Amino acid sequence: MAIKLIGFAQSPTTRRVVLVLNELGIPYELESVTEIQTIKTEEFITKKHPFGKVPVLCDGDHVVNESRAICRYLVSKYQKDSKTVLYPDDVHKASLVEQYISYELSYFDPPLSKVLYQEIYAKRRGEPTDEAVVKQSLEELSKTLDIYEKILKDKDYLNGEYSLADLFHLPCAHIVYNATGHSDIFDSRPRVKNWLDKLRERDAYKKTYAE
């Protein structure tokens, strides 16, 4: 039975999982959600995600949600069948990948999500953009990227070799490049730019974003 992924096809969280599915060459079906009400019903909340969120992955009878947890599950179960290594076997290297995953969660995603919400999702909902939040979030993101610029010294990827930690950053970074006027926040920093360029050259990225 093919893996089924339930999500909004173009959302960064769904694409995070699709990137891993494509990196590891895992066949899957995407069940596209078109109406937000679908994921707020009693049935969805009871059986799929208690907070009414997507993506949700169904692997046979096994249901797991939260994009980063899904990605880790896919790596744990299927990486051995693939030539691509997203998560090293060595415990010391793997734990540094976890550290960089935590950086993404703690220092990169929060300010970036605020910018994307104000500039894209708020508009879709007919809410006004709060420019003060955008400004403050961009400042916070700039400080994070200054630190990333140092982390990436002499390295193409956060932990030296490409890993899940790099991949996790890509979906929101993609939106910045393609749907906002803020690509300079990445491109003005040569190592950050080099890093993101490399991520966007990967076949899995091109396949994910062609769909």
Partner 1 sequence: MTIKVIGFARSTNTLRVISCLNELGIPYQLEPPADFAAIKKDDYLANKHPFGKIPVLYDGDYKISESRAICRYLVSKYQGKYNNTILIPHDVHEAGLVDQFIFYESFYYEPVVAKIIIHEIVLKTPESEIAKRALKDLDKVLGVYDKLLEGKEYLNGEFSLADLFHYPCAHFIYSSHADLWDKRPNVKKWLNRLRNRDAWKASLEKKNKL
5 phi and psi angles, rounded to 5 deg = -115, 125
Q: Which segment (14-22, 57-65, 128-136, 180-188) binds partner 1 by CB under 8 A?
A: 57-65
| Amino acid of residue 145 | L
Distances from the Cα of 23 to the Cα of 41, 92, 161, 180, 186, angstroms = 33, 23, 15, 26, 24
Q: Report if residue 147 touches partner 1, rule: CB under 8 A.
A: yes
Q: Report if residue 133 touches partner 1, rule: CB under 8 A.
A: no
Sign of CA dihedral 149, 153, 156, 160: negative
Q: Report if residue 47 touches partner 1, rule: CB under 8 A.
A: no
Q: Report if residue 69 touches partner 1, rule: CB under 8 A.
A: yes
Q: Report if residue 1 touches partner 1, rule: CB under 8 A.
A: no
Angle between the N-to-C axes of helices 190-201 and 164-179, in degrees from 0 to 180, rounded to the nearest 10: 100
* Residue whose CB is less far from partner 1, 41 or 99: 99
The one among 2, 36, 105, 179 contacting partner 1 by CB under 8 A: 105
Angle CA 187–210–9, to nearest 5: 100
* Least CB distance to partner 1 at residue 203 (A): 26
* Residue whose CB is less far from partner 1, 71 or 134: 71
